[in-house]
Amino acid sequence: MRGLSFDVAHLLAGSLVLVSFMQLYQDRLYALLNIYALHALVLAASVAWQAFIQDAPHLYLTALIALVFKAIVIPTALHRIIVRLGIHREIETVVGVGPAMLLGMGLVALSMVVMLRVTAEADPLAREDLAFALAVVLLGLLMMVTRRNAVSQVVGFMSLENGLVLAATGAKGMPLVVEISVAFSVLIAFIVIGIFLFRIRERFDTVDVQALDRFRGERR
């Protein structure tokens, strides 16, 4: 049982990193949102598995939040926003796909080296979970800096946040995980509402963040 539970947890956490890579090379917003929904789905499965092997029923709640809110509600809402704004065309990347993937691999290697070295004494499950989680966090950051589009930056932030939830659930017996995942969901909801309410397109005629730079406070 010990062997199996470890393997499954490992598989799910590893898939999360893989899905993060898949996000990196999506150059269409629709596809990107679908992959993000997959990301959240894998996260939900991973958290549910952690809840099962740690015998921590409250984590099922976190898994449920991931499933309902992140895998269904948010992607659907963003889908609608994209259609409303009429921006379901190609998205520009600052860095090409090739360099982005190479950078991503470098980041994953970095997180493995850092986390596996410093957690030598921790139990192997938590240890590898943490290494994967850091990789997901860094890939999310990479996504945020390689995209110009506000929506895809938000997707980058949300996958970063999935990495944090993975880390929090992997840390056995960590209190407040549910509260923190709720707080994060509120944050994300704010961002999504923000895109819509701020109506970036209406104000700026584009959600390309580069266009926002024109309105820097000092260039008037």
Partner 1 sequence: MIDALTGVLVIPAVAAGLLAALPGYRLTARLNVLATLLTFLIAVSLFAVEPKSGPYLLVDDLNKVFIVLTTFVGFTTSVFSASYISHEIESGRLTPTFVRFYHAMYQTLMFAMNLALVANNIGLMWVAIEMATLTTVLMVGIYRTHEALEAAWKYFILGSVGIALALFGTILVYMAARPVIGEGLEAMVWTVLVTKAAKFDPALLNVAFVFLLLGYGTKVGLAPLHAWLPDAHAEGPTPISAVLSGLLLNVALYALLRFKMLLALNPVAIAPGPLMVTMGLISCVFAAFMLYRRRDIKRMFAYSSIEHMGIIVFAFGMGGTLANFAGLLHMTMHSLTKSAIFFAVGHIAQVKGTQKIADMGGLTVTNPVLGWGLVLGVIAIAGLPPLGIFMSEFLVVSSTFAREPWLVIILVFGILVGLGGLFLRLNTIAFGEPRGPTAPAEASYVPMFAHFAIVFVAGIYLPPALVTGFQNVARLLG
How far apart are CB 91 and partner 1 at their closest, in Å? Answer: 17
Using CB under 8 A as the binding rule, the residues of this chain from 176 to 215 that contact partner 1 are 176, 179-180, 183, 186-187, 190-191, 194, 198, 200, 203-204, 212, 215
Q: Out of 4, 55, 120, 205, name the contact with partner 1 by CB under 8 A.
A: 120
Q: What are phi and psi of 96, to 5 degrees?
A: -65, 170
Residue with tokens 């958290």: 47
> Comparing C-alpha atoms, which of 59, 39, 81, 88 is closest to residue 198?
81
- With residues binned 3-state (H G I as helix, E B as strand, rest as coil), the percentages for the chain, rounded to 5, are 80, 5, 15
- CB nearer to partner 1: pick between 98 and 175: 175
Q: Does 160 bind partner 1 (CB under 8 A)?
A: yes
Rounded CA gap, 115 and 217, in Å? Answer: 41
Q: Does 53 bind partner 1 (CB under 8 A)?
A: no
- CB nearer to partner 1: pick between 104 and 170: 170
The token duo for 179 is: 């509260």
How distant, in Å, are the alpha carbons of 2, 39, 59, 192 from that of 156? 34, 11, 24, 13
Rounded CA gap, 94 and 145, in Å? Answer: 8
Separate counts of helices (H) and strands (E) for the chain? 10, 0
Q: Does 114 bind partner 1 (CB under 8 A)?
A: yes
Q: Out of 38, 164, 196, 208, name the contact with partner 1 by CB under 8 A.
A: 164
Size of the site for partner 1 (CB under 8 A): 47
User: What H or E segment, with its residue span, contains residue 79?
Assistant: helix 74-85
Q: Out of 51, 134, 155, 192, name the contact with partner 1 by CB under 8 A.
A: 134
Q: Does 173 bind partner 1 (CB under 8 A)?
A: yes
For partner 1, the binding residues (CB under 8 A) are: 114-115, 117-122, 126, 130, 133-134, 137, 141, 144, 150, 153, 157, 160-161, 164, 167-168, 171-176, 179-180, 183, 186-187, 190-191, 194, 198, 200, 203-204, 212, 215-218, 220
